[in-house]
């Protein structure tokens, strides 16, 4: 881990491209290590700072994000970055990207997420159909397979 002014120890960073009126420059998103504040005036037990160095304005200043524990502070900081960085970029007169047009600067591109969602839905539908086809089969191997399919359907839900 490295230390950056304002966010403390950096646990993650990503180089982004900030584009305004045809000009592009690199900016760096930094996520600080979640830390706790044991003082009597704390807002929440944990905080995790984010900062975008090089874009100017509000984003250049470290922003502490608070949570009840270190994981929540980190997750909320990442969610804050994902939601707010496009706003900060528009406010500064530009856009942010991470290499792909479909990127939201934090999470994988939407096309991949849609694909995984569609594939998992289709797989679950196939499991449901197989489970229905195996109902009432008396062969020992099929009875066990039916039980396994039924467990999957029960675990991941009926339609």
Domain extents for the chain? 2-97, 110-156
* Closest CA relative to residue 68, chosen from 48, 41, 50: 48
Mean pLDDT for the chain?
A: 80
Whether 51 and 6 have beta carbons less than 8 Å apart is answered as yes
91-139 tens-digit pLDDT: 888 888 886 655 566 765 666 667 777 788 888 788 878 878 877 777 7
DSSP letters spanning 58-94: GGGS-EEEEESSHHHHHHHHHHHHHHHHHHHHHHTTS
Dihedral (Cα; 42, 71, 33, 38), 10-degree rounding: 20
Percent of the chain clearing pLDDT 90 (strictly above):
21
CB atoms within 10 A of CB 61: 10
Cβ contacts of residue 78 below 8 Å, gap of 6+?
A: 31, 106
For residue 36, the cross-strand partners are: 46
48-69 tens-digit pLDDT: 999 988 887 777 889 999 988 8
1-39 tens-digit pLDDT: 554 557 899 999 989 989 888 899 999 999 999 998 766
pTM value surpassing 0.85? no
CB atoms within 10 A of CB 124: 16
């Amino acid at each position: 881990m490295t230390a950056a002014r304002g966010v403390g120890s950096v646990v993650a960073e990503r180089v982004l491209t900030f584009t305004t009126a045809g000009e592009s420059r690199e900016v760096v998103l930094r996520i600080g290590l979640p830390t706790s504040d044991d003082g009597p005036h704390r807002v929440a037990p944990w905080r995790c700072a984010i900062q975008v160095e090089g874009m100017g304005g509000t984003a250049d200043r470290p922003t502490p994000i608070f949570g009840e524990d270190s994981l929540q502070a980190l997750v909320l900081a990442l969610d804050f970055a994902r939601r707010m960085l496009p706003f900060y970029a528009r406010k500064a007169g530009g856009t942010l990207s991470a290499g792909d047009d479909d990127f939201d600067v934090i999470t994988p591109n939407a096309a991949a997420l849609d694909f995984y969602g569609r594939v998992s839905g289709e797989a679950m539908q196939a499991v449901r159909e197989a489970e229905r086809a195996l109902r009432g089969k008396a062969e020992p191997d099929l009875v066990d397979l039916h039980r396994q399919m039924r467990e999957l359907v029960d675990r991941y839900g009926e339609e």
